[in-house]
Structure 1
């Protein structure tokens, strides 16, 4: 891809996320989400391969559907309340539609089936962006409407995502699909943390982004596309092989690595606090 075009896409991607995160008006946030989606599509399609085309098509359809749901919810909210303010969404129907749309954008269970296919059809760099940066805009909206959400449903959805992500990832051999299911599981942990404590959710998100970025960069540098490829990593670069092992263990939440901390805090918070009263 032409460096100028790549720079334009990355600028658009960054700007759209910042617009959504800093907006207080639903239309502006929706505009940021749409620009974010349109910026990601060329990155997914840059491979001249049928799988990349399939991934881009699935990504577009899912994101467009979620954007339509958000627009319907915001229009309904404006009709009922006379306001377009993000923080003011008292209607249960609006909140339910908005939550479903955001979960679809994040690839959470039970609307997660598109996510592994899109990851598999993308390059490692694009998969890294989809797994990390593309999560920020929808999550920021979720943070902003948190006071109007049903925390019990949020917790149950998070637990479902964590369970499905963990179990489905065990049967995979392709590293990008494994990372996709890992992302689904970690987003589930993040939802549970969000229902309990916003600060804990922020810590979980930062930890997830750092660990996932580390893992994708090591996979990219070693050109590892399947589990079998990991067999030759040690002979190529012992340092990268060690980093990969540590990153995987951290993603799994093994102590005393970084990934253990948010999971431990979430479980500790769950054992002492009811999500409905958090």
Structure 2
């Protein structure tokens, strides 16, 4: 958040306006790109996300994976035309690959969902400079999908992938869904 504020301040100092949609200096654009990547948990600045989500309750992890992503994605939506497209594509590619590959080796459900979030945000970032409507649709689908998955896991009280094997004994209806 402070990096976003610093980027806005640098831009306002140079341009004389607080309008974030008029990014014109390279340092403020670069700083905003790094700040958004860090805030969203994009690779290679993703290291905090799996550990934080694993160390919290499932409800808090759901908030981190959904609600916390809305402000930076909204800011990305507004400023995607001024951010460097090559850097966004590179961040998206790295996030998608790292999120997918590292998620394969996990057994803890919150870490699996964290790496899934990293991979999905990679797809969201790659769409951002191409189409605003597709970006909005992708964000809505991500939020619905992630919220429903977390809600299901909250109801099942499963912590690991192994726990999901015995979900049918505690909640047969949830297992069918």
* Residue 95, structure 1, aligned to residue 23, structure 2: no
Match of 1:75 among 6, 9, 15: 9
**Hey, what's the Cα distance between the residues in 2 that align with 1:242 and 1:201?**
32
1:197 and 2:131 aligned:
yes
User: CA RMSD for the aligned pairs?
Assistant: 1.0
Q: Are residue 184 (structure 1) and residue 138 (structure 2) matched? A: no
Q: Unaligned regions of 5+ residues in structure 2, if any?
A: none
Q: Following TM superposition, by how much is the alpha carbon of 1:143 offset from its aligned partner in structure 2, in angstroms?
A: 1.0
CA distance in 2, matches of 1:121, 1:193: 31
Post-superposition shift, 1:226?
0.3
Alignment TM-score, normalising by the size of structure 2: 0.96
- How far, CA to CA, are the matches of 1:126 and 1:210 in structure 2? 16
Out of 27, 45, 70, the residue aligned to residue 111 of structure 1 is 45
Identify the residue that residue 232 of structure 1 maps to in structure 2. Answer: 166
Larger radius of gyration: 1
Partner of 1:222: 156
User: Could you give the per-residue CA deviations for residues 128-166 of structure 1, whole angstroms, max 9, x where no partner exists?
Assistant: 111001100011111111121111211121111011000
Deviates more, 1:135-144 or 1:229-238: 229-238
In the TM superposition, residue 236 of structure 1 has moved relative to its aligned partner by 2.2
Give runs of aligned pairs for residues 136-175 of structure 1, distance below 5 A. Answer: 136-175=70-109
Deviations 1:62-121, CA, capped at 9 Å, x for gaps: xxxxx2222221121111101111111111211110010011011000000010010001
Is the counterpart of residue 212 in structure 1 residue 150 in structure 2? Answer: no
Q: What is the alpha-carbon distance in structure 2 between the residues aligned to residue 220 and residue 121 of structure 1?
A: 15
Work out the CA distance in 2 between the residues paired with 1:169 and 1:242: 24
How many residue pairs get aligned? The number is 177
SS in 1 for 2:136: helix
Question: Hey, what does 2:63 align to over in structure 1?
Answer: 129
Ranked by relative contact order (alpha carbons within 8 Å, sequence separation 6 or more), the top structure is 2
Structure 1 or 2: more helix by fraction: 1
Matched with 1:56 is none
CA distance in 2 between partners of 1:185 and 1:239 (Å): 29
CA distances 1:151-196 after superposition (whole Å, capped 9, x unpaired): 1211121111011000000111100000000000000000011122
Distance in 2, Cα, partners of 1:188 & 1:174: 21
Mapped partners of 1:70, 1:192: distance in 2: 21
Normalization by structure 1: what TM-score? 0.62
